[in-house]
Structure 1
């Protein structure tokens, strides 16, 4: 039986929106009144009040989150006894990404100075600083409450995961995740200002448009469909294209010829390309089918089936020694060794490999492989050349630069790995 979104969930998220909205608005008013073109001096005077304001808002958000899981489990008839008691103080000691909250908010003045450096007037720079602060406060508030909820789900062994719920208005990246069920220990994918939420469940117990991408898409006006997805992409979805493929192609780009042969991934034409050349609606639909956008019935979760819970690409699907054991142990215990390469995400592996290669290269040896390799014991270590060292340093610098350029968009697991590797971000 599919139920409507629990009323406890609706009530909780309305409360969270009110707390976050009031906190962000108060922060903006504070900066509007007291942040001047004397950035450093005015910031030092208002900083304590801003910290106190955001800290109070976070405490309210965390307190509200404590009551959410018991309420929604009771309403949905799910049994989920906790193993302990959540202490919200642990979630308020730092910013959600682990750094000092004041250090995070200090970036407002950095944004203002950068704006001036780009040639903007002081008033425009102040507006940029306020806009950044509003977005950051909203993200911090959402991440704080999400952290409490995730911890409460984790401490209830019978609740094996959560369903992702939209909190409209939502962007296209969030829409395609609506209704997707995640294991309890899978991180919550989000972007700045994202306010999507959890519904604790051992199965999907939410059935309205907030958990069905297609229901949400069709609930929008044509104007909003065009604004959120882009005109060509929205038209393609309306004509029957798979919403997941359309959004992923838009964000990741077209696939390769090899991936097209293996998975049917579109690799030649985007929806925009198709509508430019199709001429007629019938021809547009034919091209959408040929290019792999129309793949079958439009159903929540998609209709392209595959190995949803495989062991991953590393070690040929887990066949390498220790790979399958490491992956299965992480799933069973819910605890992933952040330095175990077998259980890393692609982003984590790129950073990890770049750092290990750099460390080996700095010893004067060319890194043939990452970690132990049975072939290494038969090969004499090769001295590294200047050109090889330069290439490895460039790869490492590129990974670190990506971390520092968009820290708020970097997954928490990658930031944690960076800290464990001694990389200062």
Structure 2
């Protein structure tokens, strides 16, 4: 198979996982009692958290195989410096807090809407819309984070190319086919279907996409959907696609998976709070994103940190908590500052690869 075929097959497998989890989330949300939203959703939450965590692991588990296959399709020997620990990118929301905290937010959203005077059915519909976006985004983010960890662990992959799949959107089309360095963040939006295709120095040309060619392949209805009626007409009249997209308000909001989220996402995911478990901290002189999740000795990072420890009680169980913060993968790439060996060392230290 070509690199593009490998990437599309990888996307389809991940998509099946996302759709299966979204279907379960919908089924569980339909059990919510309109007269007792908080309690009834809490009774469903444990099952959804466990399934979301398991789906994140399943999405991440294929990353090593995917990167090996896509590099092999380009005639590049993968030669990994380490193998991904799939569980290391699971169990944590995109803002760094536990999944349970995130997945309870739809109930808060629904209750807030009722408190503001909305009909219960409409409030529950809004809560479900938030839940659907959450579960889809968390699985996709975990998968993308795993793909990049696997890429960084293979020094022959000098970068990656952004490939658009599915129906996509104008924001992504203007980025289609662009080549990025190995440490570059993957910018995405909720429900984004784009994927990163690992590449060598002068390979993966076959999956590069010309935005104008992509636009010309669409029928007029789809052009209007992706770029708005006025925007699509401007492009048909000869306007530059990037200029049209960037002039629209909807062009903003692409952010890296697994570390930073848009203001709109933050309001939805955090229920109005300033932040979750993900924090900006000064680490070795850099302002980096860290999380407190996964730093107990029951987590991979906690096992490896080797920092001074203290005992804390959580729900009558004893955990050993590491004082050092756990770096998110995106922050590891930044602190490595282009040094691939240092990035691999830090990924290993913080439990992302073996």
Tell me which residue corresponds to 1:297. Answer: none
Partners of 1:83 and 1:155 within 8 A in 2: yes
The range that moved more, 134-143 or 243-252, is 243-252
Structure with the bigger RCO (C-alpha within 8 Å, sep 6+) is: 2
Residue 30 to residue 416, structure 1, CA distance change in 2 (3 Å): closer
8 A Cα contact 1:80 1:156, kept in partner: yes
Pick from 231, 236, 245 the counterpart of residue 238 of structure 1. Answer: 236
* Alpha-carbon separation, structure 2, partners of 1:96 and 1:171: 22
Structure 1 stretches of 4+ moved >2 Å: 3-6, 33-37, 401-408, 415-425
Pairing 1:278-293 to 2, within 5 Å after superposition: none
Mapped to 1, the partners of 2:146 and 2:289 lie a distance apart of 27
State the Cα deviation string for residues 318-346 of structure 1 (Å, max 9, x = none).
xxxxxxxxxxxxxxxxxxxxxxxxxxxxx
Deviation at 1:93, TM superposition (A): 3.8
1:418 alignment partner, one of 268, 280, 285: 280
Inter-partner Cα distance in structure 2 for 1:205 and 1:165: 10
Which residue number corresponds to residue 214 of structure 2?
216
Q: TM-score, normalised to structure 1's length?
A: 0.58
TM-score, with structure 2 as normaliser: 0.69
Distance in 1 of aligned mates of 2:33 and 2:167: 31
The residue number in structure 2 matching 1:81 is 79
Inter-CA distance 49–247: structure 2 relative to 1 (3 Å threshold): same
Query: Unaligned 5+ residue runs, structure 2?
Result: 256-262, 271-276, 292-354
Pick the structure with more strand per residue: 2
Within 5 Å, which residues of 2 pair with 1:126-205?
A: 126-202=124-200, 203=202, 205=204
Contact 1:179 1:204 in 2 (8 A): no
Higher helix residue share = 1
Residue among 34, 37, 41 paired with 1:36? 34
**2:43, 2:237 → 1: CA distance?**
57
Q: 1:217/1:32 Cα in 2 relative to 1: closer, same or farther (>3 Å)? A: same
- Rounded to whole Å, the distance in 2 between the matches of 1:73 and 1:44 is 44
SS of the counterpart of 1:198? strand
Question: 1:117 corresponds to which residue?
Answer: 115
Size of the aligned set, in residue pairs, is 271
Q: Against the structure 1 CA distance between its residues 138 and 201, is the aligned structure 2 distance closer, same or farther, given a 3 Å change threshold? A: same
Q: Is the 8 A contact 1:108 1:129 kept in 2?
A: yes
- Using a 3 Å threshold, how does the CA distance of structure 1 residues 64 and 160 change in structure 2: closer, same or farther? same
- Unaligned stretches of 5+ residues in structure 1: 254-346, 348-400, 409-414
Offset, 1:247: 0.8
